[in-house]
Each structure stands twice: as C-alpha cells, then as structure tokens.
C-alpha cells in the first residue's frame, strides 16, 4: 500500500452493509486482517458510471485503504475522486436485496440504482 500523501476519501459503510460484507468475506475465505472490500467506480452503466463491489484478498499498491467496521476498504485513485461522502447500505425488501449507494457527487442516475453521472 502506498504511503504517499493521498486525498482523503470518505466512504461510509453502514453497520447493516458491513455485516453482509463480512459474510461475503467469510464465504470467500478472505480474512479481515489481510483482505477487504474493493469499492470502485467504472465507466459504463446507463448514466456514465457504475459502482463495483468486490471482495479481494489484498489491496493494490496505489490503493487508498480505509478501515471500517472491522475490515479494510480498498479504493483506487480513479474511483476516489467520485466517492467522497458516499454511503453504502444494504437493504432487503420484497423486490429483492442488495447494496445501495448514496453519493453526494452524483449529478444524475437511473432507475437501476447502481449507475450514476458526475
């Protein structure tokens, strides 16, 4: 992990979402001491960008590493510029369950909830 000065990225993972992340980590055999959750923004989706959540066994050298709810959150420099202040939650409803994103940097979105424009 890089030790150079990097802009602070604040990604907040709710306690409910954290429980789900830890379940996925356990299912994939990834320990919180070594691995964690990669939160990324990628070109694509119906509004220009889409979110990506992936369990990884270790971060990349240039990642920003945040400690949250007992595990690491890895954010690459490209994604960091779009994620400041984002809240990641997990909701269950009759329509289904999944992670949701509340991103103050988003200038628009679509009905799917996982695509946004900035």
CATH number at residue 60: 2.60.300.12
Tell me, yes or no, whether 110 lies in a domain. no
In a domain, 112, yes or no: no
Element (H, E) at 52: strand 49-56
74-88 confidence digits (pLDDT tens): 999 999 988 989 999
First to last CA, the chain: 28
**Structural domain for 40, as ranges:** 11-105
pLDDT digits (tens, 9 = 90+) for 54-78: 999 999 999 999 999 999 999 999 9
CA distance to 9, 32, 94, 101, per residue, from 91 (Å): 23, 23, 10, 11
- Residue range 27-44, pLDDT digits in tens: 999 999 989 999 999 887
> What is the tally of structural domains in the chain?
1
Q: Does the reported pTM lie above 0.75?
A: yes
Residue 95, in any domain of the structure: yes
Give domain status of residue 1, yes or no: no
List the alpha helices (DSSP H) in 1-118. Answer: 15-27, 77-83
| Token pair in block for residue 90 | 């997990």
Q: How confident is the model at residue 95 (pLDDT cuts 50, 70, 90)?
A: confident
Element (H, E) at 96: strand 96-102
With a CB cutoff of 8 Å and minimum separation 6, the contacts of 82 are 41, 49, 103, 105, 118
Residue 116, in any domain of the structure: no
Residue 48 has pLDDT above 50, yes or no: yes
| Domain assignment present for 118 | no
Residue 69 belongs to some domain of the structure: yes
In-domain check, residue 85: yes
């Amino acid at each position: 992990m890089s030790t150079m000065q990097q802009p602070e990225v604040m990604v907040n993972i709710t306690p409910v979402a954290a429980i789900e992340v830890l379940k996925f980590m356990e299912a994939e055999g990834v320990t919180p001491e070594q691995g964690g959750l990669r939160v990324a923004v990628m070109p694509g989706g119906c509004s220009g960008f889409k979110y990506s959540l992936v369990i990884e066994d270790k971060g990349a050298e240039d990642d920003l590493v945040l400690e949250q709810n007992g595990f690491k959150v890895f954010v690459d420099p490209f994604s960091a510029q779009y994620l400041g202040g984002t809240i990641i939650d997990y909701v269950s409803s009759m329509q289904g369950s999944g992670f949701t994103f509340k991103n103050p940097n988003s200038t628009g979105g679509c009905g799917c909830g996982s695509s946004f424009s900035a």
